[in-house]
Structure 1
Amino acid sequence: MTTTVSAVQVRRLVPADALAFQALRLSGLQAHPEAFGSSYAEEKDWPVERVREWLTVRPDTGVFGAFENERLVGVVGLGRQTRANFAHVGFLWGMYVHTDAVGRGVGRALLDAALALARSQPGLRHLTLQVNADNRAALALYQSFGFVEIGREPDAMRVGNGFCDDIRMYLPIATR
């Protein structure tokens, strides 16, 4: 599936995109450490083979990338719980749009693509995500898609010498 927003093309990433994905992710980890569960220090020395594994195409999960003039400017991952009792739950992870691409619909296009894949999956009933409680733009974007807050974890993540609250959000994608 490929989606276009103005000059931005959104598609599933494949292992050949590993270097571009890794560079963008590391940029995001440096620019917005409060937005990720991982850190630049943890990922900066990862071998590209490890990153390629994240981008292996699977039928019910994937990483979507937004490209502008062949430059990767945004990403979001769709995962799915693998244990039988939780296989009805999907989750979004790693959403990041490069600063120079913010405000042009890139995040919306990425979410459209990830949600289209999620909705096509038999047995997948809902999606969850976690977002920094101070990230008003991300919260507004997720809410515009119908995600609702289902909980707040105070001091969920340590960033440097401070702590950030996380908001957990939920979106039903299948009817009973």
Structure 2
Amino acid sequence: MRQPSAAVDIRRLVPTDALAFQALRLAGLQAHPEAFGSSYEEEKDWPLERVREWLIARPDAGVFGAFEDERLIGVLGLGRQTRRNFAHVGFLWGMYVHASARGRGVGRRLLEAALALARSQPGLRHVTLQVNADNRAAIALYQSFGFVEIGREPDAMRVGNGFCDDIRMYLPIATH
């Protein structure tokens, strides 16, 4: 039986969180390479300054972190397309919750925070994401928020000597 856990705090990450973010992301890339578009080999030697740049908060984008006892246990990024013709589209990226924290609603809380920011953005009409087609738990979580599947790409990603399908999902957020 699990011990009662400390409270989990969700907040936007800032550049001073870069070391913790990089460590958790690298752990995720190693443990679940099929869940990320990047790889451990690609990111393991990135300078911390490059990671800090990801964590610079912008009004319409950022990375959210879940902390338990000041330890980063989960992350989720929200981005926004920058080209004018696509600026109405937000996207989620990099969702990862440490194995020790799964099944406790951490991913749900990260998603709530990211979608709250997305909904507060003028002109943002919908949010998209891509998820490994075999990740049933993640797909169910996204569906519980109203995301719907809008496409499946066979062999979208190479992992080792195999290939994985990706599902693209969509959530309208515009209120008018």
Q: With structure 2 as the length reference, what TM-score do the two structures score? A: 0.96
CA–CA separation in structure 2 for the residues paired with 1:38 and 1:84? 26
Unaligned runs of 5+ in 1: none
Q: Is the 8 A contact 2:6 2:69 kept in 1?
A: no
Q: CA RMSD in A?
A: 1.0
Aligned-residue sequence identity (percent) comes to: 87
> Where do residues 45-124 of structure 1 align in structure 2 (5 Å cutoff)?
45-124=45-124
Unaligned runs of 5+ in 2: none
Once the two structures are TM-superposed, the CA of residue 57 in structure 1 deviates from its matched residue by 0.9
> Partner of 2:37: helix, strand, or coil?
coil
Is 2:142 the counterpart of 1:142? yes
CA–CA separation in structure 2 for the residues paired with 1:168 and 1:84? 22
The Cα offsets for residues 71-107 of structure 1, whole Å up to 9 and x where unpaired, read as 0000000000000000000000000000000000000
Q: Is the 8 A contact 2:6 2:68 kept in 1?
A: no
CA–CA separation in structure 2 for the residues paired with 1:70 and 1:109? 16
CA–CA separation in structure 1 for the residues paired with 2:64 and 2:46? 20
Once the two structures are TM-superposed, the CA of residue 175 in structure 1 deviates from its matched residue by 3.0
CA–CA separation in structure 2 for the residues paired with 1:11 and 1:141? 20
Q: With structure 1 as the length reference, what TM-score do the two structures score? A: 0.96
